[in-house]
Amino acid sequence: MTQAKAKGFGTAPVFFTAISTILGAILFLRFGFAVGTLGYAGTLLIILMGHLVTIPTAFAISEIATNQRVEGGGEYFIISRSFGLNIGGTIGIVLFMSQAISVAFYVIAFTEAFEPVFNWFQNTYGFSLPRQVISIPAMALLAILILRKGANFGVKALYFVVAILFVSIFLFFIGKTEYAAEATERIAYSPLRNMDNFFFVFAIIFPAFTGMTAGVGLSGDLKNPGRSIPLGTVAGTLVGVIVYIFIVFKLNNSASPDDLINNQLAMSDIAVFGKWIIPLGLAASTISSALGSIMVAPRTLQALGHDKTFPFQGFNRKMAKGKVDTNEPFNASVITIIIAFAFVIIGDVNAVAKVISIFFMLSYGSLCLISFLNHFGSSPSYRPTFRSHWVLSLIGFIFSIFIMFKMDYLYAIFAIGVMVALYIYISFYHSERQGLESIFRSALFQINRNLQVYLQQNQSIKKKASWHPSAVCVTEVNSDRDNAFKLLTWISNKYGFGTYIQYIHGYYSSSAHDQAKEALELLIERTESRDSNVYVDTIVSPSYTSAIAQIIQLPGISGLDNNMALFEYDKKDPTNLEQIAENYPLVRSGNYDVCILGGSNRGVNFHEGIHIWVRRVDYDNLNLMILLSYIILGHPDWKGGKIKIFNVRKPGQHDEATDNLLELVKTGRLPISLKNIEFIDIDESTNLKTLINEKSIKAGLTMIGFRSEQIKHEGEKLFEGYTEMGDVLFVNAFRNKEIN
């Protein structure tokens, strides 16, 4: 490997591969059409918009290449080592197909250099020769040279054709026309025209911009990829921009719009010796672009095979195998040539070229996204010597997606559909590999940290924020009760936040740590299987009281403080009720709302909805119970369920609680009809628990308010006597909640 690297290429092949593709077929064949259609200003706008994608991508590639060792595969290697092998393989397969078909695209464009020959044959013999007369022999010759001589010959030939390319462009710039002599002020007055065709023309022009990453594919053959890729790629991109601007200026000032639109080789009428130098330059540019693509595509396929991307292990081994002395991807080159030959024979790849552009946009967007995410969530080992700016990377990503859909939204949807299908298949076949989430994890951690710090430092936000339940529940690790977890799932569905913590009794030790880890894995599995938004955790503590003391001091996962403590007990076996009652004052000292759930073993009768019981003495609990009810009913499980309120009062008494309740209904602040509110008069002989059992025996969930004084005097007896009902939630609000 060291010897091979010592004999590798320097920076020049990266630059020349990029610049020869940038200044390629599109430049000679379509820039005149763009200037004639949109005008000088419109074409400059295309160049500007296109480079809002390519320049950020060039900088992103340079940044990543100076951070990690870039091996064979170029863009594929960078994407797969950043996004993971599954998403990398998905993009890599599409990228390889785009590069392979690009070979055919450039070979077919090469035949346009022989347009004078085709015209002469048509005028002399009266019929048209098919373009394949030139393209098939050209493709065959290119294939033989690459297979026999390899990349070394390709790079040497590249220098020769680039020299011809620059000579032809130089002769174009010094050429003069009669139109130019009469149009000295035309540049100053260059209005935008036909802007309704802007993105149609953009789609035709954009393949010219895709050449800036062509040299990256040589990464496996470079002595120092970390140096050669940034220098060659950025230099090629910037030189290309400058040449584009001057060529557009020259075209606009040298030929009429009609001539530019109707003559695809209008540059030949402008250049010195243009009749032969421009076709020669076109031939040189297309062959150099084809050389670049036919050198890059096999290396992408070789890297895909090396990573065992395909489901056929024999195929992976053959594609990964290179020549013994140079590691030249011979087998991958054969596959590339077969694909290119197929499209050369078809002869018309205009529709395919659009797909190629869109797939290139996807790969460019991916590279910019990688750079952007690494600015916010990279590991300490991410220390590139070349630094792009995160704003530039974000612009590149956004414009990649935006332009892709503006070019052709049907092709864009098709391309994304292909990508999704490939990703699903590769993820299924390589389920052991990390997926798309790996690149986002660190960024999400950093974003979450910054939000938490921001919220902590801006206390005014907390004070002005509308109330949301942020409940924390503690239960024993050996408990098989599920009621509290379901309740937290309902609360956390849309408007609230829930943290479910299992308490492990004991002192913290290695064995306790392992037990906590195993319990947490089971909790996470439960959360995933139920599609729950509940955050789960475990805690090791020597006593239930110390566990409660620790938990109520935990920061809320939402960034806001936890404001509600949830306890649970089994109504048929309320063994832990005593310790819940004992720890109630401890929780209240933290200004928490307290909810105590008496769980039943029967299923939840969602259709019967939620029953709320309120008395004058615990009116402060009513709004909290109503808000919780509406949040819970927002969960899909409770679809069709309703809230029913039972207002208990002394006979003939019309108290403040009743007035406020009626006022909420009348003003519409409480969207409950009066028929769902029942006023119940009771006297001292009435057993309230018996009444609640009778009225709410079928309820899906029953809420009952309680006061601190009650739990102080009655203890756990306050919660007993509801064994025939479903789940009962006892609610104690720290302060009254406002219903807006």
Chain centroid, CA 148 distance in Å: 42
Contact 318, 331 (CB under 8 A): yes
Quickly name the fold that domain 2-437 has.
Amino acid/polyamine transporter I (1.20.1740)
Residue 3: per-residue pLDDT: 42
Helix (H, G, I), strand (E, B) or coil at 90: helix
Q: Describe the strand order of the beta sheet including 497-505 as a list of residue ranges.
A: 535-541, 497-505, 470-476, 564-570, 593-599, 727-732, 701-705, 610-615, 643-649, 677-681
Query: Tokens 């403590």 appear where?
Result: 565
d(CA 213, CA 17): 9
Residue 381: per-residue pLDDT: 57
d(CA 565, CA 584): 10
Residues 6+ apart with CB under 8 A from 701: 604, 610, 611, 632, 726, 727, 728, 729
Q: Which two tokens stand for residue 367?
A: 């590279």
Tell me which residue of 613, 594, 601, 614 sits closest to 655, measured CA to CA.
Answer: 614
Residue 679: per-residue pLDDT: 83
Question: Distance of CA 540 to CAs 44, 182, 537, Å?
Answer: 66, 88, 11
Residue type, 43: T
d(CA 35, CA 427): 46
Buried b (16+ CB within 10 A) or exposed e, 171-206: bbeebebeebeebeeeeeebeeeeeeebbebbbbbb
Q: Which CATH number fits the domain 600-740, given the four candidates 3.40.50.12370, 3.10.450.40, 3.30.200.20, 3.20.20.140?
A: 3.40.50.12370
Residue 73: per-residue pLDDT: 63
Which regions of the chain are under pLDDT 50?
Answer: 1-7, 188
Helix (H, G, I), strand (E, B) or coil at 667: coil
Contact 716, 577 (CB under 8 A): yes
Residue 632's H or E segment, with its range, is: helix 622-633
Q: Is pTM, for the whole model, over 0.85?
A: no
Residue 188: per-residue pLDDT: 47
- Cβ of 323: how many Cβ atoms within 10 Å? 11
Tell me which residue of 504, 526, 500, 507 sits closest to 515, measured CA to CA.
Answer: 504
d(CA 466, CA 739): 10
Contact 600, 726 (CB under 8 A): yes
- Every domain of the chain and the residues it spans: 2-437, 465-596, 600-740
- Is 465-596 the same fold as 2-437? no
Q: What are phi and psi of 729, to 5 degrees?
A: -110, 115
**CATH 3.40.1350.10 holds for 465-596:** no
Burial class of residue 245, CB neighbours in 10 A (0-12, 13-18, 19+): middle
Q: Which two tokens stand for residue 551?
A: 């938990």
Residues 6+ apart with CB under 8 A from 118: 128, 129, 131
